[in-house]
Amino acid sequence: MTKFAPKTPGTSALNADQVTEFLLQHPDFFAGRDELLAKMAIPHQRGSAISLLERQLQLLREKDVDTQRCLTHVINNAKENERHFDSIRKFSLSLLESRDMEQAIEAVEDSLNHDFNVEFHQLILFSSQPSNLPVRFESKDITESLLGEALSNSTVFCGQLDEKRMAFIFGNKTQQIRSTAVAPLRFPDYIGLLALGSCELDRFKASLRTQFISYLGDILSRHLTHLMYIDQKIKRK
């Protein structure tokens, strides 16, 4: 343990590191030394000085504020995640209850409108064959050539698309849409895409964590693939 003796002529002055080390080793040093505490002051940014006790209280208040902010952030994230999970649960159950493609498409539209509050959405399936189903069909080659970057892999694309691509997906509604997300539907091959649009600039931004949107795409891919297989099997009979 470091020894500290009163300064006498010829004795070198203590430096800041030595004082710091001593106080760390003796956290109760100021106990019973109220007169010393009252004389100590810490310069403030505004030029005035405050006592050591006042400074300690100020630090404790600042830490409390930071802790409250972190706790509020965690709670808000938890509530948001809970809302997402509840919406996905409803979405999944609605799809599972659908008996054919028409019911599945209606379930998707209803869930996106009411459970997820998505203002604009477009479900596009890849096919060159005409269909009476209430869903949009496009050629896979044409779609991939126009939306190459958004369909370059199996992950969700969030960010800005140029006017040509926006017009291809959303038609004449592009002026109202400020952020977009595109989830490729793939199981095991590409069968289409689910595009979401919002009037809010930050709703689908590039830095957004896309787990929930990706999960929607995964659920939809598997169920639609199953229903399409059943539909084709019925038509061949």
CA dihedral 167, 172, 173, 174 (to 10 degrees): 40
Pair of tokens at residue 78: 């938890």
Q: What is the reported pTM?
A: 0.67
First to last CA, the chain: 92
Cα 236 to Cα 167, 222, 233: the distances in Å are 36, 22, 5
User: Residue for token digits 């059943």?
Assistant: 230
CATH class of 68-236: alpha beta
Of the candidates 53, 33, 57, 80, the residue with the CA atom closest to the CA atom of residue 203: 80
Sequence-ordered list of residues with C-beta below 8 angstroms from that of 174, at least 6 positions apart, any chain: 163, 166, 167
Handedness of CA 140, 192, 103, 106 (dihedral sign): negative
| Predicted confidence pLDDT, tens digits, the chain (237 residues) | 445 555 555 555 788 888 888 888 888 887 777 677 666 665 655 555 555 667 677 777 888 888 888 888 888 878 888 888 898 899 999 998 998 888 999 999 999 999 999 999 999 998 877 677 778 888 888 888 888 766 666 678 888 888 889 999 998 888 889 999 999 898 888 889 999 999 988 888 766 667 888 889 999 999 988 888 777 777 666
